[in-house]
Amino acid sequence: MSERLGGRLDPASWGGPTVGVLGGLGPAATAVFLDVLVRATAADTDQDHLDLLVSQHSSTPDRTASILDPAAPDPGPVLARDAAMLARTGVEILVLPCNTAHHFVSEVEQAAARTGITFVNIVERTVATVSASLPDRSRPVAVLATAGTVHARVYQDALERTGLEALIPGPALQADLNTLIYEQVKANRPVDRDLYASCLERVAQLGAGAAVLGCTELSVIHDRFRSDPVEVEGLTVLDSLTELATATIRAAGKQVAADFR
């Protein structure tokens, strides 16, 4: 069967290792992830960049809805089937640029493990960077994410395993994060930079030494202001999508561009 009809990749025409991207969760975040991969890869020609197969499965059931409402559709089996689909093509690395979906990641990891595929985990990579870079480990790490990610303790558990304390936003701050995530980025509307800055300022006032952008819609905002970043004194901001992109580049045997920030 030809590649176009769903057969395996031809090693002679795909330089490899090829990366499979479980995308669409949400669509804008996947588009930014792909753009960051290109900008962050040390490359002089087209052929120096990563080979990718992208599943932009935007109709995957809502991850937060499933976590908060047991009656909501379960995205886990959908993610596992998509991972298996990419595995059948012969990809060697699998990535999932969505933090909330990592509540369901065991099914994806099992699908990857059955075929010997390397799964690059966005949560593990981000927490590892936080743990290595936090100047004062006595200060908590703010988790800025969807209510589903917070409820499922996706980042809290990972941070605590490294000996770090998680700071969880209160209801008012979470409501503002929800506005940024759902009413602005996911709704394809303009982003309120002042509101985003206010969220960072408030967690710094609460004593956080670092803030994890644990939602890829917040990563979209971070990337939009990358050339003119929102900075808060005393607060280190770690972007999960950037961490996933650089980890993916290295996993594929490439180098991160020296001038990428």
Q: What is the CATH number of the domain that holds 209?
A: 3.40.50.1860
Q: Quick one: pLDDT at residue 6?
A: 55
Task: Identify whether 260 is part of a domain.
Answer: no
Residues 101 and 177 in one domain: no
Show which residues are catalytic.
Answer: 98, 215
Distances (CA, A) of 181 to 64, 124, 191, 221: 12, 22, 9, 9
Task: Identify whether 71 is part of a domain.
Answer: yes
**Count of domains for the chain:** 2
Residues 198 and 182 in one domain: yes
Domain containing 53 equals 19-121+244-251
Q: Quick one: pLDDT at residue 3?
A: 42
In this structure, which amino acid lies at residue 43? A
Distances (CA, A) of 48 to 41, 53, 58: 8, 16, 29
Q: Quick one: pLDDT at residue 7?
A: 74
Residues 49 and 149 in one domain: no
Residues 201 and 149 in one domain: yes
Residues 108 and 63 in one domain: yes
Task: Identify whether 6 is part of a domain.
Answer: no
What is the mean pLDDT of each successive set of 10 residues along the chain, which is 261 residues long?
58 84 97 98 97 97 97 96 93 97 90 89 98 94 98 98 98 98 97 98 98 98 96 97 98 96 86
Cα–Cα distance, 139 to 199 (Å, whole number):
17
Residues 114 and 129 in one domain: no
Q: What pTM, to 2 d.p., does this model score?
A: 0.95
Task: Identify whether 1 is part of a domain.
Answer: no
Task: Identify whether 3 is part of a domain.
Answer: no
Task: Identify whether 91 is part of a domain.
Answer: yes
Residues 154 and 181 in one domain: yes
Q: Quick one: pLDDT at residue 73?
A: 97
Task: Identify whether 34 is part of a domain.
Answer: yes
Residues 78 and 97 in one domain: yes
Residues 116 and 131 in one domain: no
Residues 38 and 59 in one domain: yes
The first and second tokens of residue 71, run together, are: 């009656």
